[in-house]
Amino acid sequence: MKKYKKAKREKAWWVFVKSEAAALALACAFAVGFQTFVYETVSSQCRNNIKDDMTSHLQKISSVVAEKESDEEILREINTRLTIYTGYNVCLEQLGLFDPNCKHMVQIVPQYSENCHAVAALVDSDGNIVASNSRKLITLLLFDKGKENDPDRGFYICDEEKLGMTEVSNFFADYAELCGDDAKSVYVELEADSLYINKKDHTFVPHKGRFKVETYKTHSFFKDEESGQSYLMDKTDIKTETKDFEIEINDPDFVLNDVYQGISNENYPTYALLNFYGENKEVCDRFENEFNHPDEDRASYVYNGSGDGTAVVADNTSLTIGKERYNLMMRYIINYREPELVKYYWTYTILVAALLLIIASLYAWRRNVKNKAKYAMEDYQRDLTNTLAHDIKTPLTAIGGYAENILDGGLSEDEKEKYLRSILDNVAFTDSMVSRTLQLNTMSDKKPKREKVNVAELVESAMKKYEIMLEEKNITFTSKGSAEVRADRSALDTIVENLVSNAVKYTSENGTIRAELDRKRLVITNSVASRIDVKELKQPFVRGDASRSNVQGSGLGLSLAERSAAMNGMAVKLSCSDSEFRSELKFR
Instruction: List, for residues 338-351, the tens digit of each pLDDT value.
Output: 888 898 899 899 99
Of 438, 450, 522, the residue nearest 490 (C-alpha): 450
CA–CA distance, 424 with 457 (Å, rounded to integer):
33
Structural domains in the chain, CATH included, are 136-277 (no CATH), 447-588 (3.30.565.10)
Whether the CB-CB separation of 189 and 148 falls below 8 Å is answered with: no
Look at residue 550 in the predicted model and tell me its pLDDT: 41
CA–CA distance, 253 with 337 (Å, rounded to integer):
47
Cβ of 233: how many Cβ atoms within 10 Å?
21
Choose between 446 and 1: higher pLDDT. Answer: 446
Q: Exposure of 489 by Cβ count < 10 A (0-12 exposed, 13-18 middle, 19+ buried)? A: middle
**Helix, strand counts (H, E) of the chain:** 12, 24
Q: Which residues contact 27 (CB under 8 A, 6 or more apart)?
A: 349, 352, 353, 356, 357
For residue 52, name the pLDDT band (cuts at 50, 70, 90): very high
Asked whether residue 268 carries a pLDDT value surpassing 50, the answer given is yes
In the chain, the percentage of residues whose pLDDT exceeds 90 is 34
Summarize the confidence of residues 163-188 as an average pLDDT: 87
The DSSP code sequence of 106-148 is EEE-TTTSTT-EEEEEEEETTS-EEEE-B-EEEEEEE-STT-T
Average confidence score pLDDT of the chain: 82
In the chain, the percentage of residues whose pLDDT exceeds 70 is 81
Query: What confidence tens digit (pLDDT) does each residue in 542-558 have?
Result: 555 443 334 445 455 56
Asked whether residue 15 carries a pLDDT value surpassing 50, the answer given is yes
Asked whether residue 318 carries a pLDDT value surpassing 80, the answer given is yes
Query: What confidence tens digit (pLDDT) does each residue in 330-387 have?
Result: 999 999 998 888 988 998 999 999 999 999 999 999 999 988 878 776 766 676 666 5
The phi and psi torsions of 179 (rounded to 5 degrees) equal -65, -35
Cβ of 367: how many Cβ atoms within 10 Å?
16
Strand intervals (E) in 371-434: none
Query: What confidence tens digit (pLDDT) does each residue in 231-257 have?
Result: 555 666 678 899 999 999 999 999 999
Look at residue 364 in the predicted model and tell me its pLDDT: 94
Look at residue 519 in the predicted model and tell me its pLDDT: 85
CA–CA distance, 361 with 15 (Å, rounded to integer):
9
CA–CA distance, 363 with 357 (Å, rounded to integer):
10
Query: What confidence tens digit (pLDDT) does each residue in 445-483 have?
Result: 566 678 888 988 888 888 887 787 788 789 899 988 888
Of 222, 220, 215, 252, the residue nearest 237 (C-alpha): 215
